[in-house]
Amino acid sequence: MAKFNMSKTKVPMPEQDPNVRNKNFDEVSLGYTLEMAKEEATRCVHCKNRPCVSGCPVGVQIPEFISLLLEDDLDGAYEKIAETNNLPAICGRVCPQENQCEGNCTRGRRDEPVAIGRLERFVADHRNSKNYNKPVEVTSKNKKVAVVGAGPSGLSCSADLAKLGYKVVMFDAFHTAGGVLMYGIPEFRLPKKLVQTELKNVIGLGVKLQTNTIVGRTMSLKDLFDQGFEAIYLSTGAGLPKFLNIPGENLNGVYSANEFLTRMNLMKAYKFPEYDTPVHIGKKVCVVGGGNVAMDAARSAKRLGADVTVVYRRSFEEMPARLEESHHAREEGINFLNLHNPVEIIGENGWVKKVKVEKMALGEADQSGRRRPVATGEYEEVEFDSVIISIGQSPNPLIKQTNDDIDTESWGGIIIDDTTMTTKDGVFAGGDAVSGAATVILAMGAGKKAAENIDKYLQAKDK
């Protein structure tokens, strides 16, 4: 075992210069070298209670993979991660490690925590660069399971079910699988080639994929059962954007973040006219919201050459976006108008011209633990050419609209019991379709739990 490294801080991650990267869509973070990874790995103290593992929604055996990395067994390190995490290269990039594994790291009590996410990314990228998949031997159970939605939760559930020997078919509404990994997260944070590599790893387990299939339109849940599927997992995500419900939202130049990012990521609008999908934003862009999606939209608009301002009703310190994302946004020249809330979008000839905003003050803390924004009655008008609204998403309503026997919450989330089953026998659900918009890794954790429960359900049916 390498000597314990007493450094109080993480080995820095190499990155593109902010004034270069804000003009391209190449990945911002460049990844560790082997030497950097091993140096960072020596910061792990291999504590007995392993709080990092309990902080991981998919239970990656973190100290074990770090030990294998230090022993130069990179394939072994990858296989240790892949025992529980089916998308390690993705999780290494987009997981909010600061709230999960790294948030629980013993080193983090006094110093910076071990850079677990960066190490996971390094190990996964090394394996993917070899274009190698170790065959997984399974005993076929000769039972079919349908997974509706090929995003992170569906991919995780499909992979685990395939490893258990089930015949799995994933159905996805888009022409390209990956869900939010493909249409939501920008190229500069999560390269789409990498997502497709991880997808191929799942397909390599024997999972079949059927795209351009809208369950609830092109086929029903009954159709799936009639085709011989004995269980169905609903992982249809949270693709219904929320709006401000203020005057002017129907003007040209107003986008939901969902539409804007889907045009940018899945349809490659930033490469227009090489790709057929245009996106008109003008010179001055207002992004409303303070989460990761708002940062993604703002940073994408900046790369199209716009002057971008994020308008958020609370203070900068209370933004829900990951600190890394808001930090990168500020580095790249994004403006922030905090403690302001849009009350009207003003148009001219049918297009956005200005946004009227009200100044806010911070009151008492609300249920989120953040201080509540309080209206002051002070207004101003700010000139913008377009507005991107990023204040959250709700679960896709199509399943509920086409299945009266599947109960949902008032806000749209599919209701499940302790076994992840819905109110319809044999139909399970998880991820954002149940919780509302959350993180990639939480959706993956829900997919893993559902796979376990589907296996128990199908085994019980045979008894």
Q: What is the pLDDT of residue 168?
A: 97
Residue 273, preceding peptide bond in cis (omega within 30° of 0): yes
State the pLDDT at residue 145: 97
Q: What secondary structure letter does DSSP report for 103? A: G
Q: Is the pLDDT of residue 37 over 70?
A: yes
Q: How confident is the model at residue 3 (pLDDT cuts 50, 70, 90)?
A: low
Contact of 81 with 60, CB cutoff 8 Å: yes
Classify domain 241-392 by CATH number: 3.50.50.60
- pLDDT digit string (tens) for 123-133? 999 998 886 66
Looking at domain 144-239+395-462, its CATH class is alpha beta
For residues 405-426, give the mean pLDDT.
Answer: 95
Cβ atoms within 10 Å, residue 349? 7
pLDDT in tens, 103-128: 999 998 999 999 999 999 999 999 98
Q: Are 145 and 454 in contact (CB under 8 A)?
A: yes
- Answer whether residue 418 shows pLDDT above 70: yes
Tens digit of pLDDT for each residue in 339-370?
Answer: 999 999 999 999 999 999 999 999 988 887 88
Mean pLDDT of 181-208: 93
Sign of torsion, CA 118 123 128 134? negative
| The CATH homologous superfamily of the domain defined by 18-129 | Alpha-helical ferredoxin (1.10.1060.10)
Q: Render 199-221 in DSSP notation, one character per residue.
A: HHHHHTTT-EEE-S--BTTTB-H
Distant-in-sequence, close-in-space partners of 224: CB < 8 Å, separation ≥ 6: 146, 215, 232
Q: What is the band of 424 on the pLDDT scale with cuts at 50, 70, 90?
A: very high
Mean pLDDT rounded to a whole number for the chain = 92
Checking DSSP bridges between strand 371-383 and strand 351-365, what pairing results, if any? Answer: antiparallel
Percent of the chain with pLDDT over 90: 82
Task: Tell me the per-residue pLDDT of 154-194, one tens digit each, with 9 for 90 and over.
Answer: 999 999 999 999 999 999 999 999 999 999 999 999 999 99
Which bin fits 93, alpha (ψ -120 to 50), beta or left (φ > 0)?
alpha
Distance CA 389, CA 254 (A): 8
Interval 50-56 mean pLDDT: 94
| Whole-angstrom distance, CA of residue 268 vs CA of residue 344 | 30
pLDDT of residue 133: 63
| Structure tokens, 132 | 């190698």
Identical topology for domains 144-239+395-462 and 241-392: yes
Contact 313, 363 (CB under 8 A): no
Mean pLDDT, rounded, for 375-396? 95
Model confidence, pTM: 0.92
CA distance 419 to 20: 49
pLDDT digits (tens, 9 = 90+) for 289-343: 999 999 999 999 999 999 999 999 999 888 999 999 999 999 999 999 999 999 9
CB 74 within 8 A of CB 65: no
- Side chain identity, residue 223: D
> What is the per-residue pLDDT for 1?
46
pLDDT at 276: 75
The domain limits of the chain are 18-129, 144-239+395-462, 241-392
Cα radius of gyration rounded to whole Å, the chain? 23
